[in-house]
Structure 1
Amino acid sequence: MPHDATVPDAEFWDARYAQSDRVWSGRPNSALVREAGDLAPGRALDLGCGEGADAIWLAGRGWEVTAVDISAVALGRASAHAAASGAADRINWQRHDLGRSFPAGTFALVTAHFLHSPGATMPRADILRRAAAAVAPGGVLLIVGHAGTPDWEPGSEAPLPTPEEVVAALALPDGEWDLLRCEEHPSFRTGHDGTPDPRTDNTVKLRRRTA
């Protein structure tokens, strides 16, 4: 069914997470593991952290993580998972509607994995530009998105830009960034129940120059 545009995003996502004890697999996104596995730990910002698997993985590798989501239900679940993993002291959970508020500070790594929401009202491009502004010199911006309709909303009107469109919308100043990856690729995730979930995703990875 089409998304009811009268339902605020926070309400939609709280209801979505409340439908089951676990929505996602509990494993970090494969693109994060691939693209950030060799980075030296520092301060990281995880936008749209959901149930916390990416933040917990980063914290387990020594990162100090600020993890953000719009859903209080998701953040409560993520905090519980972090406590069980022993990583709780390296993660700062924050609730933000990123179209209205944004975490303070700069970070060596800013990630946004599948930062989509049903309907067409979430200002994703504006949020990602703020994400780029939060990257410290020498740091990395990693954006991973769906290239096809997300399974959480078959009738979703959420825009799903190509990686080239993501880069263009960032409107980054000339000479300040290096584009390390800009591509679509197959993704072979499995759900929390072990069911295969093949699809196509895209990845944009940029590094901010130090001078």
Structure 2
Amino acid sequence: MSGHHHQDQPAGEEFWDARYRESSRIWSGRANEVLVREVSGLTPGRALDLGCGEGADAVWLARRGWHVTGTDISGVALERAAEHAAEAGIAGRVALERHDLAESFPGGEFDLVSACFLHSYGDFPRERILRRAAAAVAPGGVLLVAGHAGGPSWDPDAHRDLHFPTAEEVLAGLELPRGGWEVLLAAEHVQALTGPDGRPGTRPDNALKVHRLR
């Protein structure tokens, strides 16, 4: 994340459009490993990808038979996601919607709601958005939330102004009704990645996976 931004204001559409325009592709183009690991065994149905960016997760899901609604605040990101889906030949299974999730949220119920690395600058109401995400899970469905747990190995103090909650803190913030959900995963893991100098590095991440029972 880069760019000038007043920390007390949420990073909006203009900020993220500018961020995406910095290069022709800002993410790897590969689906998040935590999504691949945790969703591969699920029966495909309707999926909601919150903060879909350039569409790697949405395309991966659609290729495996999911009907995906992808949402992002950035129109630039969504244009790239649409191109990615078209190139993959699965555009008919990917619907893309622009939402500032602090202001609006996709309608409907989903068998999978995925929020992978849904972090932003400023006064970003992440807990409230994740509660909306849980409410959008259909009975029998799954909510997957993945987030950073700290800075990368080459810059451990990166994003000092952001609070990275633990999986347990995310779970508490969801305020799920007792008896209505089953926790399948709440754990921290180390993600291997390549640093800006091309050398291998790591970053602590965490994941929460909960199953709606009714």
Per the TM superposition, whether the score is higher than 0.5 is yes
8 A Cα contact 2:5 2:11, kept in partner: no
- Displaced runs of 4 or more, over 6 A: 191-194
Select 2:182's aligned residue among 151, 172, 178: 178
Deviates more, 1:157-166 or 1:15-24: 157-166
2:202 matched to 1:198?
yes
Q: Deviations over 1:33-66 (max 9, x none)?
A: 0000010000000000001000000000000000
**Alignment correspondent of 1:167:** 171
- The amino acid that maps onto 1:29 is N
**SS of the counterpart of 2:169?**
helix
Q: Distance in 1 between matches of 2:40 and 2:164?
A: 26
- Find out whether 1:146 has 2:137 as its counterpart: no
3-state secondary structure, aligned to 2:18: helix
Distance 1:168 1:7, change over 3 A: closer
Identify which of structures 1 and 2 has the higher relative contact order when contacts are C-alpha pairs closer than 8 Å and 6+ apart. Answer: 1
Distance 1:12 1:170, change over 3 A: same
Secondary structure, in 3 states, of the residue corresponding to 1:173? coil
> Aligned partners of 1:20, 1:126: CA distance in 2, in Å?
31
Question: For the structure 1 residues 129 and 190, does the alpha-carbon distance in structure 2 shift closer, same or farther, using more than 3 Å as the test?
Answer: same
The aligned residue for residue 91 of structure 1 is 94
TM-score (norm 1): 0.92
Q: Which moved more, 1:35-44 or 1:142-151?
A: 142-151
Q: 1:117 to 1:74 in 2, by over 3 A?
A: same
Distance across 1 between alignment mates of 2:78 and 2:167: 28
The offset of 1:158, in angstroms, is: 2.6
What is aligned with 2:19?
A: 16
5+ residue gaps, structure 2: none
Contact 2:10 2:124 in 1 (8 A): no
Query: Identity across aligned pairs (percent)?
Result: 59
Q: Deviations over 1:52-109 (max 9, x none)?
A: 0000000000000000000111101111111111111100000000010000000000
For residue 28 of structure 1, what is the aligned residue in structure 2? Answer: 31
RMSD (Å) for aligned C-alpha atoms: 2.2
Instruction: Give me the whole-angstrom Cα distance separating, in 2, the residues matched to 1:7 and 1:36.
Output: 30
- Aligned-residue offset at 1:148: 1.1
Structure 1 equivalent of residue 6 of structure 2: 4
